Amino acid sequence: MILEYSPWLCWIIPYIGAILSLLFNKIHHKLRDCCALTSSFLSAIFSTLIIFAYPNVLKGEAYHSIPTLSIKWIDAPNVTLKAGLLIDPLSVFMANVVAWISFLIMLYSIGYMEGDKGIVRYWFFMNLFIGNMLLLVLSDNFIQMMFGWEGVGLCSYALIGYWYEDDEKEKHIKWVGEGLEEYAPSHCGMKAFITTRIGDIGLLLAIFIIFSQSGTFNIIELGKDLNWASKLSNMGLLLPTALLFLLGPIGKSAQFPLMEWLPDAMAGPASVSALIHAATMVKAGVYLIARVFPIFYILMHSGFIELKIFFMSIALIGAITAFISATQASVSNEIKKVWAYSTVSQIGYMMLSLGIAGYLIGDAMIAAYVAALFHLLSHALFKANLFLTSGSVIHSCESRFMRDMGGLLKLMPITSISMLIGVLALLGIPPLLGFWSKEGILKAIEYGIYEYSELSLIFIIAAITAIITVFYSLRAYILTFIKEKSGRVKELEHHIHEVKPVMWIPYIILALAIIALGFSVPFGLEHKLHHTFGDMLNHYLMKVSEHKEVVTTQSYLPILASILAISIGSIISYTIYLKKGNNLFESLKNKRTILIIQKFFSNRWYINRFWYAITNKLLVLSKLIHDKFELPIVDGFNYYLANFVTFISNRVRGIHTGVLSDYMIGATLGMVALIIFLIILLGG
């Protein structure tokens, strides 16, 4: 009985936990922490129980608008809204990834945030964050989804700017960036919220446009009755609407050109970064695209050819973002920022794969779609691991800069091994999970090339990005753990030791999961995913060819590319950072072109500056209008009018002399004038 309601409980429990942890704080701090952790754990349990309550999910079936899953919500003219949940493989998959990884992060937080004075606020928003993300992935209509969507934005605002006092003394831990691009936490929170909000304008507008033609916000209904699309297409608005829709995910998932908020989101605590990057927030954009993928796919394949541009944009934006951020990651000096750029880049891969899936048919399409989700899973695992381990390192070294680290391998053995597994997964060493998922994406691109040879350009970009990925992840690992100890580490050497078990247990679990799942791929994990999602897609797509066996005929190109990328990348980072007596590096280091490129990368391709310039222009414009138009002209008009009246009355006042004879003359003159006037009037 209660099982049937597990989808509701799954997202409501974190909300309750958030509120209860506020109340329990008044009683005892242990009780409060316990409550926060328990609610996250229960929510994870219920996310898994969904599978047992709705077992056909594993066969690709979708449950929606059944009584247990929907209730009346808003009844306004023109629209009746039901609050409802959608249970299908995609939402259950996402819910499980989100809830379980979040739970591990919450566990880590017990140690990491211990003694922080804002901890009540921390637990409240962390739980709210999880609840919102689960609501987002489980919602069956856009308005309800927006509660989760904007809700994660709100929580990210609160948590990125968690250390809102912007303490100058703790700049090296709690701020982000250097030089011109150094920002305080409160600034970064605001930046994140506003940037994603700009993307949401497009998303909301698209949702409203679709609603105006279809009369519904329900995602399933939109996919069933496609009349709205032909109406839009007749007005030439289908493609613009689709592209506007895309803006939302671009903002939320930090894709080009709205990606600049994410690297700066590193101003929050490491656990928050882990939550934002691994489980919640940035995955929302990928999820949303995956969610509406069937709708746009059917449309495109049933004659609305213009939507090709929609899928092409997803793929292109993904590829461009992947490349740009990878280059930025390779010159970053802060450990968390390396992983942040890397997240942007990896999400680019997922977008790329989803975009290409739109071009493919049958099994190849399913393979590309699954590759994106599979990469989402593996990225969630290794990125959570990387952020949590980095958090431990920052915690110990009391600095976010890698130049203050080095030589931690022996001081923090568990952390270093755990991070090594994360790094190896990121760069795609077989048989770790990252290898399979990245290969899946490369394979998807390869399928795409069979259809459209133009996509080989994207394949090349993806491969180059893979090389850079290997380079920057090894670089970060070497600088942190292997290179000789920095001054700060030497100074603090006696204080640096392995962190508490409550902190390392979560990332060890993550590392083990990376290994275990990686080993289970050859035994059918990916195959299983392929089947389930394949069934789901066939269910949604109706007409598209039914499920066939996984394509086994494939070239060795993806594997070759992966292996080449790994070897080239690791050779480069080895020669630059590890090889002793390295003349090549020294000679390269001072080359002008290298310096210029490095400067270009570390200035974030000037995209960040560009946005700031626009913001400043807006402020200048606002001041200009206010000073030159609003005050002197619009408001000034009142005073001109008043002065004008005063002016007239001053003139007229002159004849009020107070002398009786003057008034008599006036009266007589007036009388004469009146008589003349009457004569003229009557005579005429």
Residues that bind other proteins (CB under 8 A): 73-79, 143, 146-147, 150-151, 153-154, 157, 161, 164-168, 184, 186-187, 190, 193-194, 197-198, 201, 204-205, 207-209, 211-213, 232, 235-237, 244, 618-619, 621-623, 625-626, 630, 634-635, 637-638
Helices (H), 28-117: 29-53, 89-112
Helix or strand (DSSP H, E) at 632: none
CB within 8 Å of 94: residues ≥ 6 apart: 137, 283, 287
**Residue 280 burial (10 A CB sphere; 0-12, 13-18, 19+):** buried
Q: Which is nearer to other proteins, 188 or 525 (CB)?
A: 188
- Closest approach, Cβ 167 to other proteins, in A, equals 6
- Closest approach, Cβ 287 to other proteins, in A, equals 18
d(CA 485, CA 471): 21
**Residue 547 burial (10 A CB sphere; 0-12, 13-18, 19+):** middle
Q: Which is nearer to other proteins, 244 or 442 (CB)?
A: 244
- Closest approach, Cβ 234 to other proteins, in A, equals 10
In sequence order, what E strands does 266-331 have?
A: none
- Closest approach, Cβ 149 to other proteins, in A, equals 8
**Residue 628 burial (10 A CB sphere; 0-12, 13-18, 19+):** exposed
User: Token match 């006042």: residue?
Assistant: 653
Pairing of strands 70-76, 79-84: antiparallel
Q: Which is nearer to other proteins, 618 or 648 (CB)?
A: 618
Q: Which is nearer to other proteins, 635 or 662 (CB)?
A: 635
Six-digit token string for 554? 């494939």
Q: Which is nearer to other proteins, 187 or 475 (CB)?
A: 187
Q: Which is nearer to other proteins, 226 or 550 (CB)?
A: 226
Bond prior to 14 in cis (omega within 30° of 0)? no
- Closest approach, Cβ 630 to other proteins, in A, equals 6
- Closest approach, Cβ 168 to other proteins, in A, equals 7
d(CA 296, CA 301): 9
d(CA 623, CA 617): 10
Q: Which is nearer to other proteins, 596 or 634 (CB)?
A: 634
Q: Which is nearer to other proteins, 63 or 157 (CB)?
A: 157
- Closest approach, Cβ 165 to other proteins, in A, equals 5
- Closest approach, Cβ 235 to other proteins, in A, equals 6
Helix or strand (DSSP H, E) at 80: strand 79-84
Helix or strand (DSSP H, E) at 316: helix 307-329
Q: Which is nearer to other proteins, 187 or 336 (CB)?
A: 187
Asked if residue 116 lies in contact with residue 100, where contact means CB atoms within 8 angstroms, the answer is: no
First vs last Cα of the chain: how many Å apart? 101
- Closest approach, Cβ 145 to other proteins, in A, equals 10
